[in-house]
Amino acid sequence: MRSKSSFRGRKMNFVCQLTLLGSGRMVLAMLVLDSLLAGTTDATTHEPGFSGPIANVTAPLGREAILACTVHNLSSYKVAWLRVDTQTILTIHTHVISRSRRVGVTHSDHRTWFLHIRELRETDRGWYMCQINTDPMKSQLGYLDVVVPPDILDRGTSTDQTLREGTATSLTCATSGSPHPQVTWRREHSKPITLADGTQVTSYEGPVLNISRVSRQHAGAYLCIASNGVPPTVSKRIMITIEFPPVITIRNQLVGAVIGSDLVLECETEAFPKPVSYWSRESGEIVPVEISHEQQKSDTSYRSVLRLPIRRVSTYDYGTYKCVSKNSLGDTEGTIKLYPMPPPALENTNVVQRMNIMAERPSESTDFGTQDFRLQDYNRAVPGDQFSYGFLFLIILIKVLINRASL
C-alpha cells in the first residue's frame, strides 16, 4: 500500500513539472513571435511597392506603344512584364524573355520600367501585368488598346448597279476598324438623297441605304464614307444607272419660216440605254444628212438634243417633221410643223433720200417760220414713226420754194 501511494505522489509531481515547463515554453514562444512580428512590420515598411497605377495606353495600328510601371524600394527585387490573357512572360528585369523582336524593355533609374511593343498589331490589344517578385508577389494591370483606321471591305459592299426604273434597291457599305466605323452616305455634286418616304436629305447615316422605287432622279454616283476618329477617313464610289424608254420633249411644235431664211429645228430626248434618234418627214422618209440638212446630237448624261438645221428654206421644206427615238426598252416620236410666213414689209431704212438745195441765203422767214436751206442729208435711217413727218415737211418746203420763185 505504501509503495502505491508513493508512486502516485511521484506521478503527480511529474505532471506538475511538465505543466510548469509547458507554460514557460508558451511564454517564450509568445515572446519570440512578438519579436518576429515587430521585425516583419519594420521590414514591410522598406519592401518594394508601386508608386502609382499603370496608365492605359491607346495607340494606332503599326505604331509603337509604351506602358510604364513606377515602383519604389526595389532593392534587389526584380520587375517583370507579362501578357495576362496568354500568361506569357515578356520581360524580367532588363532581359527580354519573349521571342518577338517587337518587344523591348527600358527603365529610368530602376524606378520606372517601360514595356515597348513596336509595329502594333490588333492581336496586341489586351491587359498587361507589371509584377514584383516579392513573397507574396505584387502586381498591377494596364490595358493596351490598338485603334485601327476605317476600311471599306469589298466583300459585302455594293458595286455599281444598273436598274430598271420603278424597281427597288439597297446600297450596302461593309466596314472594319477599331472603334467600329460610322457610315455616312452622300451624293456627288451635293445632290439630295431621296429616301423611301419621299423626303430629301443631303446625307444619310447607316451601313444600308434603301431606295424603294428608283427613278431617273436617283441616277448618279453615291459615296459611302467610313470614319471612326482614326485618320484617314475612307470612301467608296457606287454608281447607279437607271434604264428607261425614250421620252421626247419639243419646245416649239409650230415653226414659221420665210422662203430663203435659215432655221434650226430642235428635239430633246431622254433615255437609257442610249437611243437611236433621227429626223423623218411626214411620209416616213428619213431626212438625209446633206449640206443643207446637218443632223446634230448634243449628249449630256441621259439627255440629248437633236438639231436639224435647214438653210435657205424652200417650198419643199414646208411640212411636218418627226423626231424619232428608239432603244431596247421602247420608242417614241414627236412632231414639228414648219409653215410658210410672208416676207416682212419694206422698211424706210432701205431707202436713201438725198436733197441738195442751193440758195443765195442759208435761211429765210416765211409764213411757216424760218426755213433752213442748207444741205440736208437723209442717208441716215429714219424711224418708221417719223417718216410721215419728214415727208410732210418736204412738201411744205417745195411749196415755199414755188412761192418764192413766183415773186
Mean pLDDT to the nearest integer, 402-406:
66
- Whole-number Å distance between alpha carbons of 218 and 215: 5
**pLDDT for residue 33:** 33
Lowest mean per-residue pLDDT among 34-43, 78-87, 125-134, 262-271? 34-43
**CA 322, CA 278: separation in Å to the nearest integer?**
8
- At 354, is the secondary structure helix, strand, or coil? strand
| Strand ranges (E), 250-318 | 254-257, 263-272, 276-281, 296-300, 303-310
- Residues 276-280 have a mean pLDDT of 92
- The per-residue pLDDT for 282 is 87
At residue 112, does pLDDT exceed 70?
yes
First to last CA, the chain: 212
Grid coordinates belonging to 48? 518594394
Report whether 193 contacts 274 (CB < 8 A).
no
What does the alpha-carbon distance between residue 339 and residue 346 come to, in Å, rounded to a whole number?
Answer: 22
Spatial separation of the C-alpha atoms in residues 282 and 108, rounded to whole Å: 97
Whether the pLDDT of residue 224 is over 80: the answer is yes
Q: CA-based diameter of the chain, in Å?
A: 212
Q: What is the pLDDT of residue 398?
A: 72
Give the tens place of pLDDT for each residue, 49-105.
999 999 999 999 999 999 999 999 999 999 999 999 999 999 999 999 999 999 999
- 13 confidence band (pLDDT: 50, 70, 90): very low
pLDDT at position 287, please?
86
With a cut of 90, say whether residue 248 has pLDDT above it.
yes
Instruction: Please determine, for residue 401, whether its predicted confidence score (pLDDT) is greater than 80.
Output: no
Go through 372-391 and write b for each residue having 16 or more CB atoms within 10 A of its CB, e for each that does not. ebeeeeeeeebeeeeeeeee
Mean pLDDT is lowest, of 21-30, 143-152, 264-273, 340-349, for: 21-30
Residue 382 has pLDDT above 50, yes or no: no
Task: Lowest mean pLDDT of 1-5, 29-33, 308-312, name the range.
Answer: 29-33
Q: Alpha-carbon dihedral of residues 18, 24, 28, 30, nearest 10 degrees?
A: 90
- CB distance 333 to 325 below 8 Å: yes
The answer on pLDDT for 338 being more than 70 is yes
pTM over 0.95: no
Helix boundaries (H) for 245-383: none
Phi, psi at residue 348, to the nearest 5°? -70, -10
pLDDT over 90, % of the chain: 63
Q: Report the percentage of the chain scoring pLDDT > 70.
A: 71
pLDDT tens figures, 182-212: 999 999 999 999 887 888 999 999 999 999 8
Q: Which of 230, 201, 199, 224 is nearest to 212 (CA)?
A: 199
Between residues 350 and 318, which one has the greater pLDDT?
A: 318
Q: Above 70 in pLDDT, residue 293? A: no
